[in-house]
Amino acid sequence: MTRAPRTIDRPFLLTTLALLLLGVFIFSSASLGLLTRSGASFSSLAISQFLFGVGGGIVVLTILANVRYRYLKRIAPHLFGVALLLTALVFVPGLGYEANGARRWLEILNVSFQPAELLKVSFILVLAWFYSTHHRKINDIRYALGGLLGALLCTALVLLPQPDTGTFAILALTGGVMALAAGIRWHHVFTIVGVGLIALSILAFARPYLLDRVTTFLDPLSDPRGSGYQIKQSLIAVGSGGVFGRGYGQSVQKFNYLPEPVGDSIFSVAAEEFGFVGSVTILGLFVLFAFRGLLIASRATDRFGGLVAVGLVILIVIQSFINISSMVGLMPLTGEPLVFISQGGTSLLFALASAGIILNISRYQRPRVLQTV
């Protein structure tokens, strides 16, 4: 029996707010590094991050935490279709624009946003809808893998031409975890892994910059002024932080050394200013976020809610750990931002929206059964 709506999961809310507050402090410091760079607009960056991302995100979080999540199941396929259409519009001249060699943004009425962030959330919702609707047929490979591969094919058609290989890879990993949570058989898992490895190999050879990133990862000193420059500067920043860091606002590497100090290199700025202790604190908050989020998923009263919570938690945590791992040389650079902390008003808004959905799921939990001896 589903219990009446109660209060939200407070530890999860507090963890989310801690990540948000920490992100505001780190971003504010890292953005000072832009003052020495030509063409950087601090005011527009602050408006996007704080007004649209923080302000708008808190409003959306509050709304979604109070609107029953089961309504999302009804609109999941339609929302996924709208997200695909919006993401495809980046290729329309006059609507989409290119930055750093990629077309990932729409600009409407002088407001720019990245529709791929909506696509991430809608991808999880449509997979949760598919697996919860066809859960009785999960042993049939057409249903075990059909929905996942179909959704990935649709996203590949709009993400890979941008190109946005990193987002596609994260969605593939998240979708695989959701399929496991839905109960697919292990031989289907091996099929997914095999297809994924083949696809990754094809992409690496088809796109030289991806192969270059792998080469740089294996030997960062092979081209220290070229492809290896970012990881070299990142490791200098992380190492300079020591145990307790240089102090808030005291990063040196953010000034004309680290590429994208408010973007994918922001963890390096944080590590330099807050040291090993601060870095472990950031990691610990994401681990706690994952633990509480997956606990909420395990207590969900229906398959849809459980799968949505799993997907959203895994999406945020995988992207964050990929960013951190690439900055310390544990995996190739991907260009993916650090959730809740890196630049990106759209990313922050949808991260908080995801947290709002998870909080709403936490309102409807299975009643605990008291065991008697």
pLDDT in tens, 136-183: 888 888 888 888 889 999 999 999 888 888 889 899 999 999 999 988
Query: Would residue 86 count as lying in a domain?
Result: yes
Q: With a cut of 80, say whether residue 268 has pLDDT above it.
A: yes
Joined tokens for residue 36: 């020495």
pLDDT (0 to 100) of residue 222: 64
| Among 345, 261, 347, residue whose Cα is nearest residue 47 | 345
CA 269 to chain centre: 19
In a domain, 250, yes or no: yes
- Asked whether residue 120 is domain-assigned, the answer is yes
Instruction: Identify whether 4 is part of a domain.
Output: no
Reported as a pLDDT band with limits 50, 70 and 90, residue 369 is: very low
The pLDDT assigned to 331 comes to 81
pLDDT at residue 371, as a whole number: 42
User: What pLDDT band is residue 104 in, cutting at 50, 70 and 90?
Assistant: confident
Residues 94 and 327 sit within 8 Å (Cβ to Cβ): no
Which pLDDT value is given to residue 107? 75
> What is the distance between the alpha carbons of residues 356 and 358, in angstroms, rounded to a whole number?
5
Query: Cα–Cα–Cα angle for 119, 334, 27, nearest 5°?
Result: 80
Residue 1 has pLDDT above 50, yes or no: no
Q: Which domain holds residue 158?
A: 19-363
pLDDT classification of 310: cutoffs 50, 70, 90: very high
Domain count, the chain: 1
Confidence of residue 44 (pLDDT cuts 50, 70, 90): low
Per-residue pLDDT at 255:
84
* pLDDT attached to residue 39: 54
Determine what percent of the chain is predicted with pLDDT higher than 90. Answer: 42
Mean pLDDT value across residues 90-101: 77
Rounded CA gap, 173 and 319, in Å? 10
Cα end-to-end span (Å), the chain: 23
Question: What rounded mean pLDDT belongs to the chain?
Answer: 85
Instruction: Give how far Cα 182 sits from Cα of 31, 40, 129, 139, Å.
Output: 42, 46, 11, 10
Please classify residue 38 by burial: count the beta carbons closer than 10 Å to its beta carbon, then call 0-12 exposed, 13-18 middle and 19+ buried. Answer: exposed
H-type helices in the chain, by residue range? 10-30, 42-46, 56-64, 71-88, 116-133, 141-144, 146-159, 165-182, 186-206, 208-218, 229-240, 266-298, 303-327, 345-363
- The set of residues, in sequence order, having a beta carbon less than 8 Å from that of 60 and lying 6+ positions away, is 349, 352, 353, 356
Distance, in Å, from the CA atom of 121 to the CA atom of 83, rounded to the nearest integer, reads: 9
> 273 pLDDT exceeds 60?
yes
Contact indicator for 61, 53 with CB cutoff of 8 Å: no
CA 81 to chain CA centroid, Å, is 20
Looking at residues 319-342, what average pLDDT do you find? 87
Note whether residue 2 is domain-resident: no
Average pLDDT over residues 256-262: 81
The owner of tokens 């602050």 is: 46
pLDDT on residue 367: 59
Residue 226, in any domain of the structure = yes
Cα 57 to Cα 28: distance, rounded to the nearest angstrom: 17
Assess if residue 370 is contained within a domain.
Answer: no
pTM above 0.75, yes or no: yes
By mean pLDDT, which of 32-41, 249-258, 317-326, 345-354 is the weakest? 32-41
Residue with tokens 């270059």: 212
pLDDT score recorded for residue 372: 40
302 belongs to a structural domain: yes
- The strand pair at 96-99 and 102-108 is best described as antiparallel
Length of the chain: 373
For residue 46, the model assigns a pLDDT of: 73
pLDDT of residue 84: 94
Contact 338, 320 (CB under 8 A): yes
